[in-house]
Amino acid sequence: MRLLALDTSTESCSAALMLSEREVLLRAVITERGHAELILPMIDELLREAGLRLKDLDGLAFGRGPGAFTGLRIASGVAQGLALGADLPVAPVSSLAAVAVQVDMAAAEAGILICNDARMGELYWATYRREAAGSAPVEMSPERVSPPDLVRPMIGVTHVAGNGFERHPHLLARLRAAGLLLQDGLYPRADAIARLGARVLAAGQGVSAEFALPAYVRDDVARPSGGPVTGMS
Looking up residue 122, the CATH number of its domain turns out to be 3.30.420.40
Q: Which of 3-12, 13-22, 89-98, 222-231 has the lowest mean pLDDT?
A: 222-231
Residue with the bigger pLDDT between 92 and 131: it is 92
As a whole-number percent, the residues of the chain with pLDDT over 70 amount to: 91
Residue 139 belongs to domain spanning:
103-183
Residue 221, in any domain of the structure: no
Note whether 159 and 203 are same-domain residues. no
What's 69's DSSP letter?
Answer: H
Average pLDDT (1-16) is 97
Residues with Cβ within 8 Å of 200's Cβ and at least 6 positions away in sequence, in order, are 61, 91, 92, 93, 206
Residues with Cβ within 8 Å of 45's Cβ and at least 6 positions away in sequence, in order, are 27
Note whether 199 and 178 are same-domain residues. no
Task: Using CA atoms of 188, 112, 205, 195 in order, give the dihedral in degrees to the nearest 10.
Answer: 50
Residue 159, in any domain of the structure: yes
pLDDT tens for 13-31 read 999 999 999 999 999 999 9
Averaged confidence pLDDT in the chain: 91
Quote the CA–CA distance of 164 and 193 in Å, as a whole number.
19
pLDDT for 220:
47
Report how many domains make up the chain: 2
End-to-end CA distance of the chain: 20
